Every structure is written in C-alpha cells, then in structure tokens.
Structure 1
Amino acid sequence: FEYLKILRRRKAWFIAAFVASVAVGVTLAILLPKTYRSSATIAVQAPAVSLDLVPARADLSREERLLALSQQLRSQTVLARVAREEQLLSDRPIEVVTGELMRRIEVLPTKPIARDGDRQELSAFEIVYKDGTADRARRIADRLANVFVDEHSKSRELQAEGTAEFLSQQLNRSQQRISALEGRLRAAKERFQGKLPEQTAANLQTVSGMRSQLESTSNNLRSELDRLSLIDRQVQAMKQGAAPVGVGVANQGATPSPQQRVTALQRQLATARTQYKDTHPEVQELERELQLARQEAAAMSQQPESTRQELLAGDPLYQQTMADRNLTQLRISSLRRTETQLQRDIVRYQSQIEASPMVEQELSSLQREYDIERDNNKHLSEKHSTAQVQEQIARTRGGERFSVLYPAYMPDSPESPNRGRILLLALAAGFGLGLALVFARDYVDQSIRDARAVQDEFAVPVLAEIPRIHTA
C-alpha cells in the first residue's frame, strides 16, 4: 500500500507526464510525413546456351550477389537515366537527385526456388523504392526495374566487347614480342655460329680429328727434317770430295775420288793391322798409298771453288741429290703450313668449345623468354576465342538474363508512420515516465509525514499524534 500512497500523493506529476507523452505521440502521428513503399520483382533467368559457353560466375553467396546487384542498381548510370526519364531533375544538380534516389532504394532477396547443392541460388530479388506519394513510388520502382534490366544487358554486352578488344590488343602485342624474340634468337645463333651448344659434340669430334692429323703431320715433318739433314750431309760430303753416306757409287767403272781412296785405304789398313804387324810389307805398302791418297785429297781440296762446282755440276748423282733436297724442302714447307693451320684451327675450335657454356646461358635466357611469351600467346589466343564467343552470346542475350517478373504495385496505405504503433508507444512511454517522475519526486522530498518517520529520523518515542483536521 505504500506505493499506492505515494502514487496518490503525487498523482499530479503522473498525470502531467502521461498527458505530455500522449500529446507528443499524437503530434508525431499527425505531423510525420507519409512514406509509401512499392517494389518490383526481378527474375534471374538461366542461360539459354550451354553452360560450357557461358563464363563461370564467381563463387559468391546469395548475400554477396545481392550486394553486387545493389551496387549495380545504385550506379550513376542507372540512377541518372531514371532521373531523366522520370523528370526528377527540375533544375537541380544530377548528383543531388541521384543521392536522394540512392537513399530510398533497397534490394531484398525473395524466397529461393532453386538450390545448387547445399547453397541456395538467387532466383529472384525485389527492388524496393519508398516515396511520399503512392503513385510516384510505384512509377519510380517500375522504372528502376526496367532500367536496371536494360542497363545490365548493355553493360554485359559492353563488357564482353571490351574484353574481346582488350584481349585482341594483348594478343597482337604478344605476337609482336614473339616476332622480335625470334629475330633476336636468329641473330644470336648467327652471331654465335660454331659456338652453339648443339655444336659442341661436333666441335669436340673435329678437335679430336685435328689433333690426330696434327700428330701425324708432326711425325711426317720430323721424318722429312731428318731426311733433309741426311741429304745436307751427303751434299756436304760431295762438295768435300767424299762419297755420299749410305749411297752406292753410281758408276762402278768410274775412278774413285782422292777422299774415297783415303777412306778405302784406311779401312784396308785397319783390316791388315789385325792380321799383320806394322813391319809387314803389305802394311807398309798400304801406309804409303794412304799417305799419297791424303796428299792428293789435300791437293784437291785446295782447288778453287769454281772448279769443284763445275765437277759437281756434271755429276748425275749430285744433281739427283740436289733435286731430292729441293723436293724435301718443299714437303717440309707444306707440312709446316699444314701444322700451323691445324694449330690455329684447334685453338679456334677449342675457344668455341670453351665459349659454349656462356653462349648456352645467353641463348637459354632468350629461349626461356621466348617459350614464356609463346605460352602466354597461346593462353591469350584461347582467352580471345572464348571472349569472342561470349561477346556473341552477350549480343544475342543468350547468357544469364534479368527480367521483370512482377511489375511494381500501387501501395494501398503508407508504410510509415504507423499511427497505432506510435500511440501505443506514447501511452507506454507516458505511463513509465509518470511513474518515474512520481517516485523520483517522492525520493527527493525530505518531509516527515507520520510517527514512524519521526522515530526513524530522530530515534525517540512518539508520545501523541494529532490527526489531520479537515475543514469544511
């Protein structure tokens, strides 16, 4: 009963707060502007062609697709066209009008009628528009739906055309880069001809053959040099009047030269001394003949050079020996030229073999760049072919399409304000506010109103209590 007493005592506060709250609620219900809601339903139609020819959609959830569609609907292209066709500008900036439209638009999903596994497919959605008049809400909602469907088809077509054009340009640039890389590869191979990695085995085989040929040529050259040395000694012996070393006498009946006689007598004397003593008559005869022969040889060696050359010029053996000497010199010169050329060729081929790794590294870099560009060209060609097919599909509208399933309806009543709800809220708020003010006012009031309050406040007994006297 204590709370009832407080409420009875402070009823003026309660009534004032309640009446004020109800008055505010009634005022709001009357003065708030009306807002009408209208919506059009857009159907998402499946592609009319094979799914293999339609670009795969991004793996988006229903909410993500709704967000993407909402962004397309709120694009400046769609809103500006709606503003112009509905004549909403009226000398106002286009940005202001499109901003107002954007705030009044809402995209909501409808109940899904298709599923893709565990995921719900977006088969339709609503375009909601709110306005102050019912007719304008219906007209603009209907216009938004039609413009959105038309602009979406155009944007898909423009996107397909732009994609095909872009890929065509990229493909042309890729082909130009391939041509340039082919030219660089061809020029590099021509510049490094003989040093190419694929020629290394042939170069090694050639060097091996040249080394064998060089070894054979060196052996032949040494043989010819030995032969020339032998011939030179023979010629020198002939010029000194001695018989050629290792060569028999050409004419057996010819008179031997003094030097030949000296040589023969020395050989006979050596043989006789092995058989007889030095006092033996045969040994003494040979010594005497040897001395005479030496005197004749010394006398002959003192003859003029011209006389000796005349004698040698008429000697057929000497002429043959000189001819052999000249021929040997020619062979030596040829073998030396061959040896020098072989050494140069070996050095050249060896340098080519040693340069092969660096050439391979440079060519491999070019080849790798060429292979990458060729693969890129192949991928671009495939993408370009696909883009051309998709462009054709977009032009014929054979891909995923949007269509107006239900046009916008005429709203019967405003969506807001909800007067009944406002009044109920005002009554509830007035009741709560009145109670709060009553108890707050009583809490701050320090007046003493009965004996118990006196005892609680001063801790003294109450002796008597005078009741309230009501006057007439």
Structure 2
Amino acid sequence: MAPIKTEEGKIVASPLERLKYLKLKLISLKATLSPNHPDIKRLEKEIKALEAQVGNVDNIQEKIKELNHLKTEFADLKSRLGPKHPDVIKLAKKIKALENEMSKTNSTKTNSTKESAFIEPDNPAYINLLTQISSIDVQIKSLKQRKDEIKKKIEEYQKKLENIPLVEKTYNLLLSDYENTRRKYNELMDKLMEAKIAQELEESQRGERFVIIDPPLVPQKPVKPKRLAITFIGFVLALGAGIACLAFMEYIDHSIKSPEEVQELINIPLYISIPYIETEEEKRRQKKKQLLFILCIGLIIILALILFHFFVMPLDIFWIKLQRKISRIFI
C-alpha cells in the first residue's frame, strides 16, 4: 500500500497508523456523506482489511484528541459565523459522528469489562483515558444542565417580552389615574385655601358685604321710537334750514334789482326804466327749468316713499294707521 499524507502533512507508513488514520477519516466522511457513498464503502473495506492484518485497534486517545480539537474549532466557528452557517453545521455533524463512534466503542468496552469484571486494569494509559472520559462525561452533564437553565431563562424572558404590551397598558392607565387624582387634589387644595382665607376675613371682621338695596327697574310696556314725530320734526327742520339759507343768500347778495335801488345808489332822479325783455329762447329755457324742477321734486317724493316703505313701515299699514289716528281725532 502506498503511504498516506494526513491533513497536517505527516506521512502514515505503518499499517497500524494507517488504520488509525482511516478510522478517523471514516468518521469525518460519515458526517458529510451518506452511508452508501462509494468513498465510505471503499474506506470500510480498507479498514476491514487492515484490521484483519493488524487486529482491531482501539485508538480512543486519538479520538479524544480529535474530538477536543473539533469542539474547539466548532466553538470558534460558531462564535464567528453563527449556528446556521454551512461550515458550522458540517462540523457539528462530524462531532456527532465521532461521539457516536466513541460511544459504541465505550459500550463494547463496557460489555467486555462486565465479562471480565474480576480483572482490574493496570495499564496507565488506559486508566488515564478512562479518567478523561469520566471527566468529559461530567462536563457534558454540567453543560446539559447549564443548557437547560439557559433555556428556562430564555423562556422566562420571552414571556416577559410577550407581557410588555400589557405592562405598558397598565402603566398608562395608572399614569392617567395618577394625573386625575393629582388634578382633583390640586382643586381641593385651592378650595381649602379659599375657605381658610374667607374664614380669616370673617373672623377678623375685615370682610365687606354688598347688598342690593333697590331692584333693577324694568319697563312696564315695550317702547319704540315715534317715527311720525321724528319725520315731522325733520320736515320742519329742513324747511327752516331752507328758509334760513335763502335769507342768508339774500343778505349777502348786493346786486341791484329795482329802479328805486338805482336812484338811492346814485342820488339822481330817474326819468324812465326799461324792464328786462326775455326772448323766446329764454322763455323756453325757463319753462324747461321749471319742468325739470317739478320732475326732481316728484322723484324725490317717490324715492322718499320707497325708502319709507322698505326701511320704516309699509305704506298700506302706514295709511291704515293714519286713517285710525285721523278718525280718533275727529271722533
């Protein structure tokens, strides 16, 4: 058989070393390949041939070293890549296969030990391996217990996380009740302070009492403005204002309007006076002015009636009231 190179670069030449190496390699391949894979079948045949040549060799110490190395590498990869990384999953399968292989070996050794229980082991290497195995078993049990404790803590934290919305809702309700209670407390304190101040004023006789002696006067009947009187007064005032304006204009007018005024002005007797002779055009213009004045007066009267109808009183109602008042006067 040709010599084999290990992963570390060492050359495996003897059948015993070759058998140990192939067994470890078989465990590694079983973690990644199916049991019916051609490479696994080939290695199993080669291992059987070597076992027939050198006998069944129990390389438990090398398996333990390999297992410790794989666990160290697994912890490193898991911390760097996470538990779901393909390399981490592959390494976990490899560790599981190696542990299964070691458990089978231990069970076989246990059975053989039971059969020869009366024989005490005296090989130091074997005793050392048994001690390591027992310590590893203790570590495994401790880690399993630790794992169970961590799982319980995780479940507790998950329950707490699930209950956080309920706790927040309860907290908000309590906060709202606190604010309402505080507001009521402040109101009661304000009332208490006012009561104390009132009591002190009353005790010191410094308070003043305000008593309404006369009740407010209320009109006995509805009151409305006397529109007719207001209108009459306005008409009289307008007429008086117009007459006053005419008198003032006459007073400031210094023009000559009669022969007597001319004679008084020049102190010379007059023999004849020629009146102003209007032409036909001036007469027509004067008639137009008179007609326009009459139309303006009519429009003003109509506009006044319209305004009175809409803003003061409808004309039909005003006419009825006027008839009633006239009838009362004459009756």
Normalization by structure 2: what TM-score? Answer: 0.31
Name whichever structure is richer in strand by fraction.
1
Normalization by structure 1: what TM-score? Answer: 0.23
The structure showing larger relative contact order (alpha-carbon pairs under 8 Å, at least 6 residues apart) is: 1
